Amino acid sequence: MSPEVLGFIAGALSSTSLVPQLIRVFKLKSAREISLPFTSLFLVGVLLWLAYGIYLGLAPVILWNAVAASLMATLMLAKLKWEKARKVKPS
Protein backbone atom coordinates (compact mmCIF):
# COMPACT_ATOMS: atom_id res chain seq x y z
CA MET A 1 0.00 0.00 0.00
CA SER A 2 1.39 3.38 -0.97
CA PRO A 3 1.76 6.16 1.61
CA GLU A 4 -0.76 8.27 -0.32
CA VAL A 5 -3.41 5.52 -0.17
CA LEU A 6 -2.75 5.15 3.54
CA GLY A 7 -3.22 8.92 3.90
CA PHE A 8 -6.55 8.81 2.07
CA ILE A 9 -7.81 5.94 4.26
CA ALA A 10 -6.62 7.54 7.51
CA GLY A 11 -8.10 10.90 6.55
CA ALA A 12 -11.43 9.36 5.56
CA LEU A 13 -11.74 7.55 8.89
CA SER A 14 -10.67 10.57 10.96
CA SER A 15 -12.79 13.11 9.14
CA THR A 16 -15.95 11.03 8.84
CA SER A 17 -15.80 10.25 12.56
CA LEU A 18 -17.49 13.63 13.01
CA VAL A 19 -20.57 12.58 11.02
CA PRO A 20 -22.31 10.57 13.79
CA GLN A 21 -21.91 13.51 16.19
CA LEU A 22 -23.36 15.92 13.62
CA ILE A 23 -26.31 13.61 12.98
CA ARG A 24 -26.99 13.41 16.72
CA VAL A 25 -26.75 17.18 17.19
CA PHE A 26 -29.14 17.89 14.31
CA LYS A 27 -31.53 15.15 15.38
CA LEU A 28 -31.71 16.48 18.95
CA LYS A 29 -31.42 20.14 17.91
CA SER A 30 -29.04 20.51 20.82
CA ALA A 31 -25.29 20.70 21.14
CA ARG A 32 -25.24 21.30 24.88
CA GLU A 33 -22.77 18.48 25.45
CA ILE A 34 -20.34 19.81 22.84
CA SER A 35 -17.52 21.92 24.23
CA LEU A 36 -17.02 25.23 22.43
CA PRO A 37 -13.29 25.37 23.32
CA PHE A 38 -12.91 21.85 21.87
CA THR A 39 -14.64 22.72 18.61
CA SER A 40 -12.70 25.98 18.31
CA LEU A 41 -9.30 24.38 18.91
CA PHE A 42 -10.10 21.42 16.69
CA LEU A 43 -11.22 23.70 13.86
CA VAL A 44 -8.08 25.84 14.12
CA GLY A 45 -5.91 22.70 14.15
CA VAL A 46 -7.65 21.28 11.09
CA LEU A 47 -7.31 24.58 9.24
CA LEU A 48 -3.58 24.61 10.01
CA TRP A 49 -3.27 21.03 8.73
CA LEU A 50 -5.13 22.14 5.61
CA ALA A 51 -2.67 25.02 5.11
CA TYR A 52 0.21 22.57 5.62
CA GLY A 53 -1.26 20.22 3.03
CA ILE A 54 -1.73 23.03 0.53
CA TYR A 55 1.80 24.28 1.12
CA LEU A 56 3.27 20.82 0.46
CA GLY A 57 0.72 19.79 -2.18
CA LEU A 58 -0.39 16.70 -0.26
CA ALA A 59 -3.72 15.62 -1.75
CA PRO A 60 -4.93 13.42 1.14
CA VAL A 61 -4.12 16.10 3.71
CA ILE A 62 -5.84 18.78 1.64
CA LEU A 63 -8.97 16.74 0.90
CA TRP A 64 -9.67 15.30 4.32
CA ASN A 65 -8.79 18.39 6.30
CA ALA A 66 -11.08 20.44 4.07
CA VAL A 67 -13.83 17.89 4.80
CA ALA A 68 -13.06 17.90 8.52
CA ALA A 69 -13.03 21.72 8.61
CA SER A 70 -16.44 21.83 6.92
CA LEU A 71 -17.89 19.28 9.32
CA MET A 72 -16.39 20.94 12.39
CA ALA A 73 -17.53 24.39 11.26
CA THR A 74 -21.05 22.99 10.85
CA LEU A 75 -20.88 21.51 14.34
CA MET A 76 -19.67 24.82 15.75
CA LEU A 77 -22.44 26.77 14.01
CA ALA A 78 -25.04 24.33 15.34
CA LYS A 79 -23.57 24.69 18.82
CA LEU A 80 -23.74 28.49 18.64
CA LYS A 81 -27.24 28.49 17.11
CA TRP A 82 -28.86 26.19 19.65
CA GLU A 83 -26.93 27.63 22.59
CA LYS A 84 -28.22 31.09 21.66
CA ALA A 85 -31.77 29.77 21.21
CA ARG A 86 -31.61 28.07 24.61
CA LYS A 87 -30.54 31.33 26.31
CA VAL A 88 -33.32 33.34 24.63
CA LYS A 89 -36.08 30.81 25.35
CA PRO A 90 -37.29 30.90 28.96
CA SER A 91 -37.05 27.53 30.71
Query: pLDDT digits over 21-61, tens only?
Result: 999 999 999 998 899 999 999 999 999 999 999 999 999 99
- Give domain status of residue 84, yes or no: no
The answer to whether position 42 is within a domain reads yes
| Angle at alpha carbon of residue 9, lines to 5 and 12, rounded to 5° | 135
Residue 48 belongs to a domain with what CATH number? Answer: 1.20.1280.290
How far apart (Å, rounded) are the C-alpha atoms in residues 25 and 11? Answer: 22
Task: Report the sign of the C-alpha dihedral through residues 28, 31, 34, 40, in that order.
Answer: positive
The answer to whether residue 2 scores a pLDDT higher than 70 is yes
Task: Name the domain count of the chain.
Answer: 1
Quick check: is 85 in a domain? no
Residue 89's pLDDT band (cuts 50, 70, 90): low
User: Is residue 86, in this structure, part of any structural domain at all?
Assistant: no
Predicted pLDDT of residue 17: 94
Whether residue 53 is contained in a domain is answered as yes
- Report pTM: 0.87
Residue 52 lies in a domain: yes
Assigned domain for 16 exists: yes
Structural domain contains residue 90: no
Neighbour tally for 85: CB within 10 Å = 11
**Domain encompassing residue 40:** 3-78
